[in-house]
Amino acid sequence: MTSLDPVRHVVLLEELAAGGVRVVTAGGASAVAREPRGIRLADVPADQVDELVTRLLDAAPQSSAVEGEGEVAERFAARWAGAVGKRVEERGGVRLYRLDRLRIPDVPGEARPAKGEEAELCAGWLDAMAQEEDAQRGWSVPRPADGEVGVRTMIGQGRLWVFEDGGQVVAMAAHRPPQRGVVRLGPIYTPPEFRRRGYGAALTAQLARNLQPAEVCLRTDLGNPRSHGLYQQLGFEPVVDLRRFQLSSID
């Protein structure tokens, strides 16, 4: 899968690097599956959908979600649901952005790497963020049981940053390990009591600046219009929209 655009397919490359996934190809089509979470499609020609479904049935038959681009993702999800005897429903999507010309807002405070003693606080914020996202979507995404372990790993690797104002930590942002010169930001979170003060924007911008000259990108839910406007103000430009489909049992 060396020919994949590293920005467009950054999440897929992250999963490949992390391991524990099945890689399936069919002609010019390819996909990565992690059971039971789901299947990510990469550059799938419409005429290869059926063959890719057939091969994935052998490799990852328990996959319960699909993410990909446009009509091909919709067609694949419908074929996949039929093949495994489930019903399928579109569940929103995400927009991928890449940083073009960075603009850093003037906000009181400073960005810095998170400290070990802040792991519990940041893990709690991650839980709160997950609950907010699940409520917005109307469905839950499987997540690790012990989020604090993951937070401590990110802190140890220097991948988790916080924004501090007046001695108080008011926002956090992380980045994923680089993939072929591309680094994806996320998760990014500001607690409700600190929102609309520019903290999250300032932290995102300063973390992005710290990561340059790597290519910096991020993803945000299509159902969150405020975040789209904010990231574009910082200099992020849309790359592609990805559709998400969820499978469930037929009643």
Give the pLDDT score at 247.
Answer: 94
Contact in structure between 164 and 112 (CB atoms under 8 Å): yes
Superfamily in which the 102-234 domain is placed by CATH:
Gcn5-related N-acetyltransferase (GNAT) (3.40.630.30)
Write the single-letter amino acid at 25.
T
Contact status, residue 197 vs residue 109, Cβ threshold 8 Å: no
Amino acid at 17: A
The dihedrals phi and psi of 137, each to the nearest 5 degrees, come to -75, -35
The pLDDT value given to residue 27 = 84
pTM: 0.92
DSSP string, 166-231: TTEEEEEEEEPPPBTTEEEEEEEE--GGG-SSSHHHHHHHHHHHHHTTSEEEEEEETT-HHHHHHH
Give the mean pLDDT per block of 10 residues along the chain (251 residues). 86 92 89 88 94 94 94 97 96 95 97 97 95 72 69 97 98 98 98 97 98 97 90 98 93 72
Max distance between CA atoms of the chain, in angstroms, equals: 58
Task: Tokens for 228, please give them.
Answer: 């789209």
The pLDDT, as a whole number, for residue 2 is 63
The answer to whether the beta carbons of residues 244 and 89 sit under 8 Å apart is no
Residue whose entry in the numeric block shows the structure tokens 């990469």 = 42
Distant-in-sequence, close-in-space partners of 44: CB < 8 Å, separation ≥ 6: 29, 30, 31, 52, 68, 72, 76
| DSSP letter string, 58-71 | HH-TT--EEEESHH
3-class DSSP assignment, residue 123: helix
DSSP code string of 45-110: -GGGHHHHHHHHHHH-TT--EEEESHHHHHHHHHHHHHHHTEEEEEEEEEEEEEE-S------SSE
- Cα distance from N-terminal residue to C-terminal residue, the chain: 38
Q: How far apart are CA 107 and CA 104, in angstroms?
A: 9
Which of 146, 8, 150, 144 is closest to 67 using CA atoms?
Answer: 8
Cα–Cα dist 200/178, whole Å: 22
Domain ranges of the chain: 10-96+243-249, 102-234
The pLDDT of residue 140 is 60
Q: Are 145 and 127 in contact (CB under 8 A)?
A: no
pLDDT in the model for residue 1: 58
